[in-house]
Amino acid sequence: MVIVNMILFEAMAGGGDFEELPLPPGLSQYEDYHTIDWQRDIARDRMRHRHIVKKKQDSICDLIKGAHDAWSGWLCLLLVGIAAGVVASVIDIGAGWMVDLREGICPQAFWLDRQQCCWASNETFFDTISGAHCSKWMPWSQLFTSNSAGAGATFVQFLFYVAFSVMFGALAAVLVKVFAPYACGSGITEIKTILSGFIIRGYLGKWTLLIKSVCLMLSVAAGLSLGKEGPLVHVACCIGNIFSYLFPKYGKNEAKKREILSAAAAAGVSVAFGAPIGGVLFSLEEVSYYFPLKTLWRSFFCALVAAFVLNTINPFGNQHSVLFYVEYNKPWMFVELIPFIGLGIIGGVIGSLFIKANIFWSRYRMRSKLGQYPVAEVLIVTLVTAILSFPNPYTRMSRSQLIYALFSQCGPADNHDLCDYKRNFTSVNLDMQLAEAGDGVYQALWQLPLALLFTLIATIFTFGIKVPAGLFIPSLAMGAIMGRIVGIAMEQVAYKNSESWIWQGECASNYCITPGLYAMVGAAATLGGVTRMTVSLVVIMFELTGGVRYIVPLMAAAMASKWVADALGKEGIYDAHIKLNGYPFLDSKEEYAHIALAADVMKPRNNEPLCVLTENSMTVAEVEDILKETDHNGFPVVVSKESQYLVGFVTRRELHLALENARQAVDGMTGDSLVVFGTSLPSPWDGPPPVKLKMILDMAPPTVTDHTPMETVIDMFRKLGIRHTLVTHNGRLLGVITKKDVLRHIETIKER
């Protein structure tokens, strides 16, 4: 597990200067697309820490260094939180401006979006849904046609809408393709894999950060059916990765760096939704792998700083700092649990359907020629989306505006379609009463299902194209539409039968059913069906409303949704994409029911020879032959080929480096020189000088016996973060189990 040379270094270092002790070149690094050795990295960090603590008494300077080291985690996360908040604000403002640019412009100050333009004018507030706006804001039709209401004007609007959409989409696709191919998609799939210990160089680099941020604004503004919430997690992780390099404690230690990345992921969700607690739980539940409790507290800190900064910077947001702040003034009734659970079931079905269709299409893209023309694909999807979304007001407006409108309850001042009820307002202060639906609502009742269908299909084709694309918002939108429809139906049923015993008298005089709450429950259900989030989902939704009161409906729907979706297909969208991409991800949540023993999974089987090195009887030439002929990542070292008693383990990389070093360092070394991993030479010895490689021998490799159940072996892989384990019987080496063998074994079980 922990390579022993670390201990040797420590022993050699004594009280001396740790930093002067050079690691053998390249020894502590990992190759791209390899898995890290958690135990080794953590041991390295503890040794570094021990060294700093020891030196602290030496001088003031060392004391300050020690203090800096103790604080560096917090400092790093403070910086990450601030940066995540700033970047999220920039993306928010930029995306808002570009979205409105498709509709019109603020002639006096083109850098303002519609809302800010109208605020500056002190005029009546614009209405998102009906499209009413103040006089300072100029729709393109008004600028380019004389008649701003006719068919010609609509056509001008349509042209600009489509043109801007396609332009933004094309720009995003080209930027991603040219500068940062890793910037596409939501990134959560890859971040899960990276946090589980995989190395993907450049995935969290500065180019990815820059391009992803810019293209995120562009792709949102292109009107594609995607959200910016998922990619914000990736953006935050990039920030975390970049800042971690300021602190060698984290930057130079892949395992420790993942603590920062976990916290950054929490900050990402925190700024996406304005839900710091939900963000931490999301990171814990969905994204992270190695999550010591110390990290929980730091993640919370980071998430909170990010939310606070975002809230401070963004002067145009509401004062509640959450994405969709809603407040309902009616409690829910017990009987409503039935439609809520119904929403959960539908949400689960939609989520499961979406995953299957999306995976089918993604697989088709990977295998067909389509995958070779990413820019063209983006262009086509953008064009079709733009053309089809224009006619329906509920698809034309931005998806977050749609969700907000669907979540809201109708106040006396709201006059858009969704709030078109036949009401007699005698006093504004009077409680809202149940009322008959007006024409606007009936119109919404056929436009909304169309919008739902459109969003579902569009998102299936969109999630996976080569621009930054998240699916929180489309999922929430689908669910909110579904929920609002059910909510309106329930409301009308209650209106028609307001005296019925079912309502227990609640509906006789009061406004008893809030369609907005149904929209929220539906949104939670669908998002749950797609991502299979549970606690974090409910907590995020709870933070949006800020009341314990609605946790029960949300929880009921989320549970129903998860159960139904799990019954239809075991994997959430992220796990499905991990599988599709073949990432080596060992899920720490799943439980496997298998009766296999380590002996059944290890390699070699069927009496094939096992490739081993011996402690002190192989020559350099033999070892180099083995290196050339095999592609194993490491080799067990045994006492002798006959006895097979296990001594230790060397990795291919270190063996290779050590032999190259030895060529320069050891005079007179030939191909016949012995490679010695132990301390003793076979005496008498009169050959060429031997090469001593005890330094690179890991004398504490993880071992299991051949009778160990695979459950235990998998537990060791997951919980100890090992990369391979050696299988022994009565002390003799029998074989090796690598992470890949484990993944393959799990795959076999699942298929059965």
Return the number of the residue (123 or 706) whose C-beta is nearest a second copy. Answer: 706
Q: In the set 639, 659, 676, 693, which binds a second copy (CB under 8 A)?
A: 639
Q: Give the separation between CA 136 and CA 596, rounded to whole angstroms.
A: 72
* Binders of a second copy in range 553-592 (CB under 8 A): 555, 559, 588-589, 591-592
Per-residue binding string, a second copy, 3-22, x by CB under 8 A, is: -x-xx--x------------
Q: In the set 128, 241, 314, 321, which binds a second copy (CB under 8 A)?
A: 321
Q: Which of 6, 15, 11 is nearest to 62 (CA)?
A: 15
CA atoms within 13 A on the CB side of 427: 3
The token duo for 425 is 């307002």
**Quick check: 684 and 732 in contact, CB under 8 A?**
no
Least distance to a second copy, CB of residue 613, Å: 14
The token duo for 412 is 């006396």
* Binders of a second copy in range 645-664 (CB under 8 A): 645-648
Return the number of the residue (496 or 719) whose C-beta is nearest a second copy. Answer: 719
**Quick check: 371 and 478 in contact, CB under 8 A?**
no
Q: Give 429-437 contacts, CB < 8 A, sequence gap 24+.
A: 431/510, 431/511, 432/511, 433/509, 433/510, 433/511, 434/491, 434/494, 434/495, 434/498, 434/507, 434/510, 434/511, 434/512, 434/513, 435/495, 436/492, 436/495, 437/488, 437/491, 437/492
Least distance to a second copy, CB of residue 7, Å: 6
The token duo for 560 is 């129903």
Least distance to a second copy, CB of residue 589, Å: 5
Q: In the set 595, 628, 629, 667, which binds a second copy (CB under 8 A)?
A: 595
Which part of the chain contacts a second copy (CB under 8 A), choosing from 75-83, 163-171, 450-458, 548-556?
548-556
Return the number of the residue (169 or 528) whose C-beta is nearest a second copy. Answer: 528
Q: Give the separation between CA 398 and CA 407, rounded to whole angstroms.
A: 14
**Amino acid residing at 86:** V
Least distance to a second copy, CB of residue 282, Å: 12
Return the number of the residue (152 or 678) whose C-beta is nearest a second copy. Answer: 678
Phi-psi region of 514 (alpha: psi -120 to 50; beta: other; left: phi over 0): beta
* Binders of a second copy in range 666-725 (CB under 8 A): 699-701, 703-705, 707-709, 711-712, 715-716, 719-720
Per-residue binding string, a second copy, 274-313, x by CB under 8 A, is: x-xx--x---xx------xxx-xx--xx--x--xx-----
Which part of the chain contacts a second copy (CB under 8 A), choosing from 102-110, 130-138, 213-221, 315-323?
315-323
Give the helix/strand (H/E) hosting 734: strand 732-738
Least distance to a second copy, CB of residue 137, Å: 31
Q: Does 28 bind a second copy (CB under 8 A)?
A: no
Q: In the set 18, 28, 34, 43, which binds a second copy (CB under 8 A)?
A: 43
Return the number of the residue (334 or 501) whose C-beta is nearest a second copy. Answer: 334
* Binders of a second copy in range 200-229 (CB under 8 A): none
Least distance to a second copy, CB of residue 707, Å: 4
Q: Give the separation between CA 165 and CA 411, rounded to whole angstroms.
A: 33
Least distance to a second copy, CB of residue 154, Å: 42
Return the number of the residue (164 or 542) whose C-beta is nearest a second copy. Answer: 542
168: three-class secondary structure by DSSP = helix
Indicate the length of the chain as a whole number: 752
Question: Strand 618-619 to strand 634-638: parallel, antiparallel, or no bridges (unpaired)?
Answer: unpaired
647: three-class secondary structure by DSSP = strand
* Binders of a second copy in range 425-484 (CB under 8 A): none
Return the number of the residue (463 or 550) whose C-beta is nearest a second copy. Answer: 550
SS (H, E, C) 28-78: CCCCCCCECCHHHHHHHHHHHHHHHHHHCCCCHHHHHHHHHHHHHHHHHHH
Return the number of the residue (42 or 91) whose C-beta is nearest a second copy. Answer: 42
**Quick check: 382 and 169 in contact, CB under 8 A?**
yes
Q: Which of 273, 162, 175 is nearest to 218 (CA)?
A: 175
Least distance to a second copy, CB of residue 216, Å: 25
Q: In the set 5, 36, 41, 42, which binds a second copy (CB under 8 A)?
A: 42
Which part of the chain contacts a second copy (CB under 8 A), choosing from 159-167, 192-200, 348-356, 639-647?
639-647
What DSSP line would sit under 611-627, residue for residue?
Answer: --EESS-EEHHHHHHHH
Least distance to a second copy, CB of residue 400, Å: 19
The token duo for 274 is 């304005």
Q: Give the separation between CA 413 and CA 353, rounded to whole angstroms.
A: 39
Q: Which of 488, 482, 561, 489 is nearest to 522 (CA)?
A: 482
Return the number of the residue (113 or 575) whose C-beta is nearest a second copy. Answer: 575
Least distance to a second copy, CB of residue 703, Å: 6
* Binders of a second copy in range 333-372 (CB under 8 A): none
Return the number of the residue (335 or 457) whose C-beta is nearest a second copy. Answer: 335
* Binders of a second copy in range 618-637 (CB under 8 A): none
Return the number of the residue (97 or 677) whose C-beta is nearest a second copy. Answer: 677
Which part of the chain contacts a second copy (CB under 8 A), choosing from 19-27, 46-54, 118-126, 448-456?
46-54
Q: In the set 101, 171, 217, 538, which binds a second copy (CB under 8 A)?
A: 538
CA atoms within 13 A on the CB side of 307: 26
Q: In the set 200, 432, 535, 657, which binds a second copy (CB under 8 A)?
A: 535
Least distance to a second copy, CB of residue 578, Å: 17
**Quick check: 621 and 672 in contact, CB under 8 A?**
yes
